[in-house]
Structure 1
């Protein structure tokens, strides 16, 4: 019996040793493996995706049992990958999500992270532009006739009792549109409000009319597929919980400190822009993008169905999508309730 006991112990030790060699954990030492998920983010690694990086850096994802990999792509590719199950989460802009859903992709917004869009009309103060009506007779640049910014321009002009045809609209590529404004080739551009702060930092006396004052929209939002949400609700809830912890960490904490951390750790090429990025996070993201009256009442990421519906209906009206649809089929209203 002693021989058998000794043999059993030796065999057990051998099995544990073998398991260690081959990366297998024995039953007596249960694994604490994290659920591996991938999020594909719109564009490239930039410090404006601060909450994602804060959630990673401070272990908020890990606390929810998640190991998160960051990848980057354009919005259309992100949504196709979500629908195909190639990635679990995406962080594209809301306009692209509406277009994807209207074209049959089974994507779902589970966290309306940006409560507003970041589109805006930018102009030099010397142009005399103060309202959308003042764009009549002016040269106004957009990146394409199919861009959300062009729809925003159309809506703004219409609400001012004008037509987009009353302005002299020009198509200028993304890489040249700021220079077109700075060099007075155009009087105004419809682009990202974040560039307002960059232009100010360069000494340009610039003004801004936010597009969302006329047409509600959303910037980057957290999406997954309908199938993944149905099969993995705990994982989705965990990701949202980590994201909300990061948002609270930033809003209640020291923005400058977190921007420094993210630039040092995740986006080092932005080191020369640290001050302007900090200003933008404080003035735009904290005050108007991540927070709203809705989030104060319902928590971060609240999806205002009526607001989303208006954006969807306007996209159909201006033929940016083939058909309108029910916003409630796309958007989770309260991320904590699904």
Structure 2
């Protein structure tokens, strides 16, 4: 009898202990504010949204809250001011802001390609960057890094921003004005190319070889977060890269997951799949180690920004990035 009671007591104690441990694990979940350069319902942010939807952040004990800023440079400024530890921008962004003393650096870059595309209306007969002279272009904002990538592309072709009419139109207006014929070109990401095509525009992309070889989307973090909260930074990096890998492995399934997370896209999975395939083909592809920042490419971008006067000061290369949160043993699947 006593033995039976003891066994029952042990079983109950084990259950209570297990529940207590589970509660403790749940209680240790960390709230993380993550800034994005535009509203989080954009397919451009599919790796993050898919990681959230599939519980990859939760598995890292992170409770993510996504907030839209006004472009990648604004994201960096907010992080530098201590309003968030992490955010999204292009890999170029630390070059632009670090020169102004803002203490952020890239901790992962999502792909080996550049995310910026320059789309034109085929009717405008624009086949090169130099053909943009005198034309109107739309950009998301003057503080988004795609704008700086556009400026660098113009410089590469011997033009400057006064040779074209650049209009900041917001994340929707950038392609809507272009689709309405109010601009002949736009500095675009793959999402907006598909939006314009579905609006009836015969889109022509200026050859990528003429576009400044900027970086893909990146996760950027403050120096303080990297030093004092490395477990949070690592968790965000690894979970987001899982989301990107899902897209690479199966764009169709990834589109379905995204549509579940963002109900406004329900019934638009085929369109989403086209967008995600553009990202896989032009941006995510050919990265030997997912997330790893290539110092030689970053150095080439830095040198161009400095030589062309896009940034006034030359920040140290080592201050612009770290690969310490990238798992070197993670191969491309």
TM interval, shorter chain, is 0.7 to 0.9
Determine helix, strand or coil for the equivalent of 2:266. helix
Report 1:170-181 matches (<5 A): 170-171=166-167, 173-174=169-170, 176-181=173-178
How far, CA to CA, are the matches of 2:273 and 2:111 in structure 1?
17
Could you tell me whether the CA contact under 8 Å between 2:62 and 2:235 is conserved in 1? no
RMSD: 3.4
* Residues 280-308 of structure 1: per-residue CA shift (max 9 Å, x gap): 101x222232232xx22xx1111011222
TM-score, normalization by structure 1 = 0.75
1:32 aligns with 2:25: yes
Instruction: Tell me the CA shift for residue 107 of structure 1.
Output: 1.3
1:285 aligns with 2:279: yes
Determine helix, strand or coil for the equivalent of 1:92. strand
Selected match of 1:314 from 304, 308, 312 = 304
TM-score, normalization by structure 2 = 0.76
Determine helix, strand or coil for the equivalent of 1:68. strand
Structure 2 unmatched runs, 5+: 1-8, 329-333
* Residues 16-35 of structure 1: per-residue CA shift (max 9 Å, x gap): 9xxxxxxxx98994422444
Instruction: Tell me the CA shift for residue 190 of structure 1.
Output: 3.2
Could you tell me whether the CA contact under 8 Å between 1:140 and 1:167 is conserved in 2? no
How far, CA to CA, are the matches of 1:315 and 1:187 in structure 2?
26
How far, CA to CA, are the matches of 1:213 and 1:288 in structure 2?
14
Selected match of 1:261 from 257, 260, 271 = 257
Could you tell me whether the CA contact under 8 Å between 2:178 and 2:184 is conserved in 1? yes
1:300 aligns with 2:294: no
Could you tell me whether the CA contact under 8 Å between 1:146 and 1:320 is conserved in 2? no
How far, CA to CA, are the matches of 2:54 and 2:137 in structure 1?
42
Match of 2:55 in 1: 59
Query: Aligned pairs, how many?
Result: 307
Determine helix, strand or coil for the equivalent of 1:221. strand
Match of 1:249 in 2: 246
Which has the higher mean CA deviation after the structures are superposed, 215-224 or 199-208? Answer: 215-224
Instruction: Tell me the CA shift for residue 228 of structure 1.
Output: 2.0
CA change 1:336–1:148 in 2 (3 A) is closer
Question: Which structure: larger Rg?
Answer: 1
Instruction: Tell me the CA shift for residue 148 of structure 1.
Output: 4.7
CA change 1:68–1:288 in 2 (3 A) is farther
Match of 1:229 in 2: 226
How far, CA to CA, are the matches of 1:235 and 1:242 in structure 2?
11
Instruction: Tell me the CA shift for residue 207 of structure 1.
Output: 0.1
Could you tell me whether the CA contact under 8 Å between 2:128 and 2:207 is conserved in 1? no
Match of 1:49 in 2: 45
Report 1:181-220 matches (<5 A): 181-209=178-206, 213-220=210-217
How far, CA to CA, are the matches of 1:247 and 1:146 in structure 2?
25
How far, CA to CA, are the matches of 1:112 and 1:269 in structure 2?
28
* Residues 67-113 of structure 1: per-residue CA shift (max 9 Å, x gap): 22222131445334433444332123334433322221221211112
Match of 2:165 in 1: 169
Instruction: Tell me the CA shift for residue 166 of structure 1.
Output: 9.3
How far, CA to CA, are the matches of 2:76 and 2:161 in structure 1?
33
Determine helix, strand or coil for the equivalent of 2:186. strand
Could you tell me whether the CA contact under 8 Å between 1:193 and 1:210 is conserved in 2? no
